[in-house]
Amino acid sequence: MMRLQHRFELLLLTADGDTIGQLPMDPNWEPALECVRLEAERKGYPPRAGRPRHARVEPVPDAKSGPPRCRGFEAVLDCGRGREVRAFFPFTYFKEEARRGAAHYVEQRKLKAGDTFLYRLLALPGTPRAPRPKGTIIAEEIDDPYPVEPGSLEALEARSVSFGTHREGQLPVFIPERVLDQAAALTRAAGRLETGGILIGRLLRDKDRRDLGVDVTALIPARHAEAERMQIAFTADTFEYVRHAIDVRGRGEIMLGSMHSHPFLCNPDCPPESRRVCPLQSDFFSSQDVQMHTTLFPKAYTIALVATISDEGLRHALFAWDEGVIRQRGFFILDPTKELPTEAPSNPNPNTPPAHETPCP
């Protein structure tokens, strides 16, 4: 549960800096709470059994403008015994709220669809919660310890090659080359339909490093999934099949995330210069992908592997929770048997807010 002592609002402005309007928000704080919980686990502060842990939100004022303008906020988790864990989140955490705000002003004709706009975060004194009516039942979620196993991150790194860009402090993720090959085979076999599966494995605790790591051990193809040309939906039967597969394997694995494909969708008649910058040629995580991952895999250690077919062939990209939003990140390829690139290919459409929904600098 998040405790709030401020009302958070967004100030929307034109590209020239003129005010469009100011909107109150009721944001989803759960990703921030999950991220700070993960930081507590990484520091070795697991929750005490059967007791809820509370977090509070503290605005971080903008150094130049000062309150009420903020450059972000901190989620502060009370771990008991006088211990607190803090995690900072920049104001890009509210990008989806900014999009909805822009849509509101498009309806009011204060913006046109496709217009560039800026947004700022404001933290105003006062709680945003309305008084609870009499007889309201208040429920508190119990924060159970993560299903961690002992393991050596150093040993896994010794068997791996680094792929993509790693941000300092990110949770290390290890994916076997055979899992990547399986994802590629599923993608090619599906033709022009999306396909996917569930990644399973272990969440490791390295006592020497005093940190956690994600060790993917297998990809279970998504049976009973509903696949379309540009979308796949995992059904209840899909997860029942995966749970059965985990039981049969008998290794105590857990679900760590998902894999899905992006088949080749570009028009073959497009000129080469257009195809080079086509979004369908890039590594991307669509708004539908974000919604699916947020719903099915809200834990901060979960991941999403994407296999994309483009003019350059098939490539892999990994997306994961980072500062409360889902971004592309690097990982370690475990037990490689062939020469592999150490960097992901350049992306003409990087995972940053489009120009028409730009946060203020």
Torsion from C-alpha of 267, 272, 277, 283, nearest 10 degrees: 70
Q: How far apart are CA 79 and CA 74, in angstroms?
A: 15
Whichever domain contains 161, its CATH number is 3.40.140.10
Clarify whether residues 110 and 152 are in a common domain.
Answer: no
Q: How far apart are CA 282 and CA 71, in angstroms?
A: 30
The predicted-structure confidence for 150-180, as pLDDT tens digits, reads as follows: 999 999 999 999 999 999 999 999 999 999 9
Mean pLDDT (the chain) is 85
Query: Does the residue 131 lie in any domain?
Result: no
Give the whole-number percent of the chain exceeding pLDDT 90. 65
Number of domains in the chain: 2
Query: Does the residue 137 lie in any domain?
Result: no
Query: Does the residue 135 lie in any domain?
Result: no
The predicted-structure confidence for 291-341, as pLDDT tens digits, reads as follows: 999 999 999 999 999 999 887 789 999 999 999 999 999 999 999 997 655
The predicted-structure confidence for 209-243, as pLDDT tens digits, reads as follows: 999 999 999 999 998 777 666 678 899 999 999 99
Measure Cα distances from 61 to 96, 104, 290, 350 in Å. Answer: 21, 27, 29, 28
Is the sign of the CA dihedral 176, 255, 303, 72 positive or negative?
A: negative
Decide if pLDDT at 344 tops 60: no
The predicted-structure confidence for 14-68, as pLDDT tens digits, reads as follows: 999 999 999 999 899 999 999 999 999 999 887 776 666 789 999 999 999 999 9
Which structure tokens are listed for 291?
């919604």
Q: How far apart are CA 147 and CA 205, in angstroms?
A: 10
The residue to which tokens 């809200």 are assigned: 298
The pTM for the full model equals 0.85
Query: Does the residue 132 lie in any domain?
Result: no
Clarify whether residues 120 and 166 are in a common domain.
Answer: no
Query: Does the residue 48 lie in any domain?
Result: yes
In terms of residue numbers, what domain contains 88? Answer: 2-125
The predicted-structure confidence for 71-112, as pLDDT tens digits, reads as follows: 999 999 998 888 999 999 999 999 999 999 999 999 999 999
Query: Does the residue 337 lie in any domain?
Result: yes
Q: What is the CA radius of gyration of the chain?
A: 22
